Amino acid sequence: MQNFQFYLPTKVYFGQKVLENVGKETKILGKKALIVTGKSSARKTGLLQRVEKSLKRAEVETFIFEGVEANPSVETINKGTKLAKEKKCEVIVGLGGGSPLDAAKGIAILSANPGLLVDYFGRNRIKKNPLPVVAIPTTAGTGSEVTPYAVFTHRENRSIRKKIIADSSLFPKIVLADPELTLSLPASITADTGIDAFSHALESYLSNRSYPLSDTLASEAMKLLFNYLPKAMENPKEINIRSHVLYASLLAGMAIAQTGTILVHAMSYRLTTDLGLSHGKACALLLPSICEFSLKEGHPKLTLLGQCLGENMENMTTKKAAEKVLTTIKDFVHQLALLQDLKIEKIKEGTIEDFAQEIMQDKRKLANNPRQATLEDVIGMYKKALW
């Protein structure tokens, strides 16, 4: 059996009403907290007020940084950091979907380290431990609550890029994963964030850095999402279904925290920054073409992958097995209606080449993909997804 290292320094509370622990747990980490949240939904649903109340009851002085946009910008992180420093906050509470959670991590970095966020783009560049982060996810998809990653948008000259910070100090200290908080998510966000979680699980499973323990997390996440995500679209108020989807997204996050992602995530970023697609839609669009490229010549886990997706894979040639898995993935994406009415203006050959050239610089993700891709391969996958 292969050697491995598994690292997850995060205390995870999972289940209904675990939100109630926010005051008690945050108090252990600091006396002054900055709550970082999105534009309006946490306030509208009363969730922000609940968290604030619980913190105050635990005698944690609380400040609020609201208005984090999707794909948070470096400027937003700077504003949040200014407030955290002014108020001498000791702990950051991220409340919301992936964007507020990543913003909380960014603010936590800059509150404890000198310089600009750009200084920390990349891997393992953080010198001093960021402020501790308490993560309260309100969507089931990002996995940010159990990963050492945060993604930001950064303006470089005239273009906008998504930039990752990966550092083991970025794991949140506490996660309060309460499925009740996902009950009010509209179908579009359930599908969008759910396919992100599914992509995390699938990418982790196919990753060259996967190993038996990460596979256990990833395959269970895939099975659960495959079964429960369509059900969550049909019965959004069903707590048991929502619990399974949130649990699966946690497992998928834990899996990529160990293995990283493959080409789907790498290739998705320019579809968000340049074409305006949400992260989930970008992944949904790319999953079939990248799976086709990665699996068509076979993969040691192809049969097990098909079984995770509920298929009978007995007595199949590699070609048939790959076709079956691919059809199942395509049908799954289709079933979630993510790409319905999606209109992408035909983009120029040169733009696709530009996207692909950038992917060729991402040696880590290229190496992590189960089948090695050339520039022409990446261009081909983009064309198949977009044209």
| Smallest distance, Fe ion to C-beta of residue 378, A | 19
Question: Which residue, 23 or 288, is less far from Fe ion as judged by CB?
Answer: 288
For Fe ion, give the closer residue by CB, 65 or 198: 198
Among all chains, which residue has been given the structure tokens 């038996």?
A: 212
102 lines the binding site for Fe ion (CB under 5 A) = no
- CB 257 to Fe ion: min, Å: 12
Cβ at position 143, least distance to Fe ion in Å: 7
Q: Give the shortest CB-265-to-Fe ion separation in angstroms.
A: 6
Instruction: Please state the φ and ψ torsions of residue 94, each to the nearest 5 degrees.
Output: -90, 125
Q: Which is nearer to Fe ion, 178 or 196 (CB)?
A: 196
Residue nearest to Fe ion (CB): 196
Q: Which of residues 186-215 bind Fe ion (CB under 5 A)?
A: 196
Between residues 81 and 144, which has the closer beta carbon with respect to Fe ion?
144
Phi, psi of 373 (to 5 degrees): -115, 140
Site string for Fe ion, 104-143 (x = CB under 5 A): ----------------------------------------
Token readout for 145 is 């609550």
- DSSP codes of every residue in 143-204: -GGGSSEEEEEEEETTEEEEEEEE-GGGS-SEEEE-GGGGTT--HHHHHHHHHHHHHHHHHH
Q: Nearer to Fe ion by C-beta: 58 or 264? A: 264
Rounded to an integer, what distance in angstroms lies between the CA atom of residue 208 and that of residue 204? 8
Q: How many helices (H) and strands (E) does the chain have?
A: 15, 9
Residue among 30, 179, 45 nearest 93 (CA): 30
User: Least distance (Å) from Fe ion to the CB of residue 247?
Assistant: 17
Q: Left, alpha or beta for 15 (phi > 0: left; psi -120 to 50: alpha)?
A: left
Number of residues forming the site for Fe ion (CB under 5 A): 1
Q: Which of 122, 85, 104 is nearest to 35 (CA)?
A: 104
List phi, psi (to 5°) of 86.
-55, -45
Contact 126, 82 (CB under 8 A): no
One character per residue 137-176, x = contact with Fe ion (rule: CB under 5 A): ----------------------------------------
349: tokens are: 């050959």
For the chain, the straight-line distance linking the first and the last C-alpha, in angstroms and rounded, comes to 43
Bridge-based pairing state of the strands 32-38 and 11-14: unpaired
Minimum distance from CB of 140 to Fe ion (Å)?
Answer: 12
How many Å apart are CA 132 and CA 172, to the nearest integer? Answer: 7
Least Å from the CB of residue 59 to Fe ion? 36
CB of 279 to Fe ion, least distance (A): 6
31 φ, ψ to 5°?
-95, -15
φ, ψ for residue 292, nearest 5 deg: -60, -50
Q: CA 148 to CA 332: how far, in whole Å?
A: 29
Which CB, 195 or 386, lies closer to Fe ion? 195
> What is the sign of the dihedral through the CA atoms of 18, 130, 166 and 37?
positive
- Please say which residue, 145 or 196, places its beta carbon nearer to Fe ion: 196
What's the min distance (Å) between Cβ of 71 and Fe ion?
Answer: 11
Give the nearer residue to Fe ion in terms of CB position, either 64 or 333: 333
Least distance (Å) from Fe ion to the CB of residue 196? 4
Residue 196 vs 215, nearer CB to Fe ion? 196
Q: Is 80 or 280 the residue whose CB approaches Fe ion more closely?
A: 280
Binding site for Fe ion (CB under 5 A): 196
